[in-house]
Each structure stands twice: as C-alpha cells, then as structure tokens.
Amino acid sequence: MHREISTPSFDLTGKTAIVTGGTKGLGFGIAATYANFGANVVLTARTSSDVDAAAAHINEAYITGSNKCLGVTADSGKQSDVDKVVSGAIGAFGKIDILVNNAGVSGQTAAILSDECSEENFDLVLNTNLKGVFLLTKAVVKQMAAQGSGGKVINISSLGGLIGGKGLVAYGASKAGVISLTKTMANEFARYGVTVNAICPGYVVTPLNEDVFADADIRKKMEARTALRRLGSIEEVAGPALAMASDCFGYMTGTYVLLDGGQSIGG
C-alpha cells in the first residue's frame, strides 16, 4: 500500500520575506513573485524614491490577498540600517520567515595590475556584496531563532563566484565569499531550523545591463558561451527563488543552485 504523499506547495501566505536590492532587476522580480504568492514583503534599497516606487508598484500590481509590501530605505552594509530593516519588518508584520540577500554592485571592470583596480573599489564591492550579507543575515537569524519556527535564507551569488572572470576581481571574490558564507551559515543555523542556500545566476538580462545586451554583437557573443544559446530572464531566477523559499526545498541547505544556461559546462 502506498504512503499518502503530501504534494509540495509554493504558497507563501502568512510568511514575511525581506528582499534586499528589491527595487530593480532580480530583486524586484523576486519581491513581486513572493507577493504574488501571498507573502508580506519588505524590500530594501539605498535610494528612497526607488524604494517608494517599487513598493507602490508591488502593492498595486502583484498583491493577491491581504498581504502587503513595505519599502525600507537602507544600506545592508551598515549596522544601523540593518537594525532599521529588522525592526521595520517586525513592526509591520510581527515576524520574519524568509531573507533574500540580493543587494549587490559589480564595481569597476579592470585588470588587477591596472591603476583602475583600486583599494576603494575593492572595499566598496566587498562591503555591499559580502559584509551586507553577513550583517543582515546575522540580525535576521537571531530573530528567526527567537521565533522558534525556522526560516529560509537565500543568498544571491553568481557564476562569477565560481569562475575567475577577467576584470572583476572584487566582484568575483565577493560572490565566492557569499558561497563560502552560505555553507558556514548553513552549518551554524541548522540547529534553529534555518536553511541557507545560494543562487548563482549567469547572464541574465536586467535593467542594469540591458543597454549592454542591446548591442547585437555583444549579445551574440554572450549567448554563444551558453549551452542554451540564449540569455536568462528575471523570471527564470525568481522561479527558483520562490521554490527555495517554499516548503519544496525544506531538506536542502548549505549549497547553491546554478542558473547559467549551461555556460559552466562549456557552452
């Protein structure tokens, strides 16, 4: 006789999610998707006008029930702003169930030995892309542990954290650090029922790079590096982020999902 199977659900009704860098690109796509599947969403970014506009758009176009989207202007690389995000989420929704560390910058593209590859650029990229993940996750998981109901942490890394791409030394180092941090956090937070995983996108078209990919020659060159011979979309990252935030990925922790169209297998 077959055991009764409980089929997985992507429903996030009753959950509260924080999405950093949630006003554009991948962050907005993930925040909108979570809202559409019932979650209360707290999105953050450093520019107030962008935060207000993104939150208003989600509340108007993606909310499906009594859930809401709250925007908080914050830099996750600053402890005072991190405290503001956590207190804002608790004040509005009473708990935190999901954290997506998406905020990031690419920094300058420059060879290591060039003058343009500066200490200032390295510090900027590492502060945003790695220190921000450390600070906000530490604060959020303290709250999750106090709640006693577990939680999900999803870190947005990159294919660049797995391969040594030329000219993006600080970006690659920061994203590799995110993968390592994901593993350490998964080990330490498992006792609280908190899973920690990462997503590593490859070439995905977003508002930040669409001007570059509008160049037909550049786009063709990038597409040729992938097995699928095309670039990825925001929705193709938001979908896996939804699955990872749901009960579907409850037994996965300390690893990453690679979304690169087959670039890493040689195209």
pLDDT, tens only, 98-135 = 999 999 998 888 999 998 899 999 999 999 999 999 99
**Please, what is the average pLDDT of the chain?**
95
**Predicted confidence band of residue 86 (pLDDT cuts 50, 70, 90):** very high
Average pLDDT of the residues in 7-34: 96
- Is the pTM of the predicted complex or chain greater than 0.75? yes
Q: Is 171 a catalytic residue?
A: yes
Domain annotation covers residue 175: yes
Domain annotation covers residue 246: yes
Domain annotation covers residue 133: yes
Contact 227, 167 (CB under 8 A): no
- Marked catalytic residue, from 34, 62, 152, 171: 171
CATH of residue 77: 3.40.50.720
Report the number of distinct structural domains present in the chain. Answer: 1
Q: Give pLDDT tens digits for 234-245.
A: 999 999 999 999
Q: Give pLDDT tens digits for 142-170.
A: 999 999 999 999 999 999 999 988 888 99
Range of the domain at 241: 16-262
Check residue 246 and give its pLDDT: 96
Cα 197 off chain centre by: 10
Domain annotation covers residue 28: yes
The strand order across the sheet containing 40-45 reads 69-73, 40-45, 16-20, 98-101, 151-156, 194-201, 256-259
Domain annotation covers residue 82: yes
Check residue 267 and give its pLDDT: 66
Check residue 6 and give its pLDDT: 87
Q: Is 233 a catalytic residue?
A: no
Domain annotation covers residue 2: no
Domain annotation covers residue 10: no
- Marked catalytic residue, from 34, 62, 76, 157: 157
Domain annotation covers residue 8: no
